[in-house]
Amino acid sequence: MPSGKGSKLLRYIEHRLRVSLADGRVIIGTFLAFDKHLNLVLVDAEEFRTLKNKKGGAARAAIIEERQEKRSLGLIILRGENVVSVAVEGPPPPSSSSAAARVNAGGPGMARGAGRGVVPPPSATGVPPPPGVVPMGGAPMGLGAAPVHGVGGMGMPPPPVGGVPPPGMMGRGMPPPGMGRGGGGY
């Protein structure tokens, strides 16, 4: 097992951490990731600041009032340069409510392939295609049967048979006219 800061921090992925920053703020959040600069990624993060107010004048002794301000931040990246200390607040949540379960939770609707594959004709399978699926050779829903100007179609001639482009046409990887080797230049 490799030793170093990286392997020690890996133990605490998905744990609840308390991170103290150089400016005195304290961030508490769920630890998601880190990098070689020790930048930290926290989710469900909350910031706690201690504010000090001086009350009273010069005649009386100064009374210092402290209050703590809380702010919800959500997903944050903490620059490693600002991190003073890291402490574990709590263990990772149970596996049923982990971050992976929240991300992969299904929503309403039906899953359907969105690729550009060819759907077999209904006669081959005996089952008609689902709504919104176009049989082979048909145009997708919302597009007419005619090609769209500037997309596909016959905008460019087919590649030459002999490998030599016709006069006036540049081939792939060839310099423009007048820029090549040999004659033809100015």
Pairing of strands 83-90, 63-78: unpaired
Give the pLDDT confidence score for residue 65 in this predicted structure.
82
* Sign, Cα dihedral of 71, 76, 82, 88: positive
pLDDT digits (tens, 9 = 90+) for 149-176: 556 555 556 666 666 665 655 555 666 6
3-state secondary structure of 148: coil
How far are the Cα atoms of 38, 48, 76, 168 from residue 7, in angstroms, in the given order?
Answer: 12, 28, 22, 63
Give the pLDDT confidence score for residue 81 in this predicted structure.
95
Give the pLDDT confidence score for residue 1 in this predicted structure.
44
Give the pLDDT confidence score for residue 92 in this predicted structure.
83
The ranges of the chain with pLDDT < 70 are: 1-6, 56-62, 95-107, 109-186
User: Residue 34's CB: how many other CB atoms inside 10 A?
Assistant: 21
Whole-number Å distance between alpha carbons of 162 and 141: 39
Give the pLDDT confidence score for residue 23 in this predicted structure.
93
What is the gyration radius of the CA atoms in the chain, in angstroms? 33
pTM for the model: 0.46
Give the pLDDT confidence score for residue 107 in this predicted structure.
64
